[in-house]
Amino acid sequence: MRYLGMVGVTVRRDHQGGLEKYTFAPEECEVQAKALHQACDFLESVYLATCNRVEVIFLCRRGTPVSEYRKRIHGFFTARKQAAGSAESTARAAAQSLHAYEKDGAAEHLFCVAAGLDSLNPGDAQILGQVKQALHTAQRLELAGAHLQMVFEEAFQAAKRVRSKTALGARPVSMVSLAFDLIDQRTKVPATVALIGAGDMTRQCGEHLRGRPGCTLLFVNRTVSKVAELATACGGRALALDAFLAAPGHVDVIVTATSAREPFLGRAFFASLRGAPPLVIDLAVPRDTDGKAAAAAGAQLCDIDQLRAEAERNRRAREAEIAEARVVVDEALEALRRRVVERDISPIVRDLRSQGQAAADELLKQLFNNGLAKLDEAHRDHIRRFGQQVVNQLLHLPTVGLKRLAHDHGMEAVEAFLQGVHDDRHGQ
């Protein structure tokens, strides 16, 4: 894992606005992921973007540190917004805004992300599917190969074990569940709830409220056909976004999670509302709501930044469960380290055995041509097999030692050892 890197930003470490800087619009995501891969010169890469994180998992080229890739990633997104600054200022800005992990640390962070341990709400059940989709997209775009696939697959297995073996996984939560208590407080009496967007969060909210007495559900989207089936299944009504914005009537709760690049819930919208100001839960990146307009109208706005405080309280309450899950993750990381060592050391071991056998064959050839020239072929085969056994036994101890050296100190230590043997053999 010595070439593994991970660079990104999350709302746990930054505000929602910081996350927006590194988020691609859905319609350009695949094109921009390819452009990012080429601009940064990754060997392999996966771009992961969710409602509370943007991270790039990648393989470095030999000799290029993760800090350099962090600067390149920051520079790529900065160049999309404005002209890049000096190299020094770019590196400083990258270090301030983007976290970075390398080698085992990058693998550990990926495992924690997939298992929901780095989410706003520990045990987030959605994140594993999002990580899987990010890998599948990168593979389809030919940006991720066998090396990242192995690391991701181990992360998926660890996440499944967390869900099946720990209390954290026994009652998983998702980002949208943080908003359910707020919604429930407003829908204890007859209420109208507008769900804007056609994504998974809209579906979850609809299913949560389906069949609730006195609750009217409006499923709103730019393309009505994308929410029509869901609206029918949940006993609600589908509306076009333009029609809703023009004449919203009375709405108690608005949950919005779209991919719009600019806020569309602005002053004109809030002015056209009837009745008491609504609760607005904005889960979009970037935001769908103009915060100043919502405040001026007296609406209660709750976005991802505000949900973070509640999530941290939940996190503290579940520390024992998180610790239990971390044991599972640590065990999975150890299994990955062993797998990587076996993969990396196998060619070296094969080469050592090949060299040892070649040396033994050459010595036996000289022996058969001189002192043992009169031996028949059957006896010679017996001696050859004996020589092979000697080579295997002599190489067993250094093979075990090299594997342990690679596991404890990395392949760099193995390469340094072999280089020292090579230099000594050639009198350097």
Give the pLDDT confidence score for residue 291 in this predicted structure: 93
The verdict on 166 and 241 lying in the same domain is: no
- Across the range 7-20, mean pLDDT stands at 76
Same domain? 185 vs 158 = no
pLDDT (0 to 100) of residue 83 = 44
Instruction: Identify whether the C-beta of residue 100 lies closer than 8 Å to the C-beta of residue 7.
Output: yes
Q: Where are the beta strands (DSSP E) in 299-346?
A: 300-303
333 assigned to some structural domain = no
- Residue 399, domain member (yes or no): yes
Q: Do 151 and 286 have their domain in common?
A: no
The answer for residues whose C-beta is within 8 angstroms of residue 164's C-beta and 6 or more apart is none
Q: Tell me, yes or no, whether 297 and 371 share the same domain.
A: no
Of 111, 284, 306, 301, nearest in space to 200 by CA? 284
Residues 6+ apart with CB under 8 A from 245: 264, 265, 268, 269, 272
pLDDT beyond 80 at 174: no
**CA 407 to each of CA 14, 337, 339, 351, 392: distance values in angstroms, whole numbers, following the listed order:** 35, 7, 10, 19, 22
In the listed set 131, 153, 173, which residue is the last one of a domain according to the structure? 173
- Are the C-beta atoms of 255 and 201 separated by less than 8 Å? yes
On whether both 192 and 162 belong to a single domain, the answer is: no
Query: How many independent structural domains does the chain possess?
Result: 3
Whether 329 is in a domain gets the answer no
The last residue of one of the domains, among 130, 150, 173, is 173
CA distance 288 to 282: 7
Rounded-to-integer distance, Cα 135 and Cα 147, Å: 12
Out of 108-117, 237-246, 321-330, least confident range: 321-330
> Predicted confidence band at 85 (pLDDT cuts at 50, 70, 90)?
very low
383, 382, 391, 330: which is closest to 358 by C-alpha? 391
Determine the Cα–Cα distance for residues 27 and 11; give it in Å rounded to an integer. 23
pLDDT at position 111 over 90: yes
Higher pLDDT, 72 or 309: 72
Statement to judge: residues 277 and 370 lie in one domain: no
Percent of the chain with pLDDT over 70: 90
Give the chain's mean pLDDT.
85
pLDDT, tens digit (0-9, with 9 covering 90-100), for 51-63 = 788 999 999 998 8
- The more confidently predicted of residues 124 and 202 is 202
Contact 235, 193 (CB under 8 A): no
Instruction: Identify the band that residue 358 occupies on the pLDDT scale cut at 50, 70 and 90.
Output: confident
Q: How confident is the model at residue 14 (pLDDT cuts 50, 70, 90)?
A: low
Q: Are residues 159 and 219 in the same domain?
A: no
Q: How confident is the model at residue 91 (pLDDT cuts 50, 70, 90)?
A: low
Instruction: Count CA atoms closer than 13 A to 339's CA, side-chain side.
Output: 12
pLDDT in the model for residue 402: 80
pLDDT recorded at residue 425: 61
With a CB cutoff of 8 Å and minimum separation 6, the contacts of 65 are: 102
> Tell me, what CATH number does 211's domain have?
3.40.50.720
Q: How many angstroms separate the CA atoms of 165 and 335, rounded?
A: 17
Give the Cα separation of 399 and 394 in Å (integer).
9
| 275 and 197 belong to one structural domain | yes
Q: Is residue 332 part of a domain?
A: no
pLDDT over threshold 70, residue 11: yes
Q: Domain range for residue 192?
A: 177-315
Q: Does the pLDDT value for residue 314 go beyond 50?
A: yes
Residue 137 class from Cβ within 10 Å (0-12 exposed, 13-18 middle, 19+ buried)? Answer: middle
Q: Which helix (H) or strand (E) holds 280?
A: strand 279-282
| pLDDT greater than 80 at residue 414 | no
Lowest mean pLDDT of 111-115, 197-201, 326-330, 349-353, name the range.
Answer: 349-353
Reduced DSSP (H G I as helix, E B as strand, rest coil) percent helix, strand, coil of the chain, to 5 = 60, 15, 25
Cα torsion 59, 146, 330, 398: sign: negative
pTM of the model: 0.63
In a domain, 295, yes or no: yes
Same domain, 43 and 157: yes
C-alpha pair distances (Å), 279 with each of 179, 270, 301, 310:
11, 12, 6, 17
Domain assignment present for residue 133? The answer is yes
Domain shared by 147 and 74, yes or no: yes
- The verdict on 28 and 47 lying in the same domain is yes
Q: Is the pLDDT of residue 147 over 70?
A: yes
Nearest alpha-carbon partner for 22 in 61, 72, 67: 72
The pairs formed by 208-211 with CB atoms below 8 angstroms and a separation of 24 or more are 208/180, 208/183, 209/183, 209/234, 210/234, 210/235, 211/235
Q: Among 150, 173, 196, where does a domain finish?
A: 173
Determine the pLDDT at residue 348: 81
Single-letter code of the amino acid located at 290: D
Percentage of the chain beyond pLDDT 90 is 42
- Mean pLDDT, to the nearest integer, of 336-365? 82
Q: What are the angstrom distances between the C-alpha of 406 and each of 66, 205, 329, 415, 417? A: 21, 49, 21, 9, 11
240, pLDDT greater than 60: yes
Mean local confidence (pLDDT), 286-299: 94
Residue 194 lies in a domain: yes
pLDDT at residue 42, rounded to an integer: 97
Residue 330 counted as domain residue:
no
Q: Are 11 and 113 members of one domain?
A: yes
Amino acid at 9: V
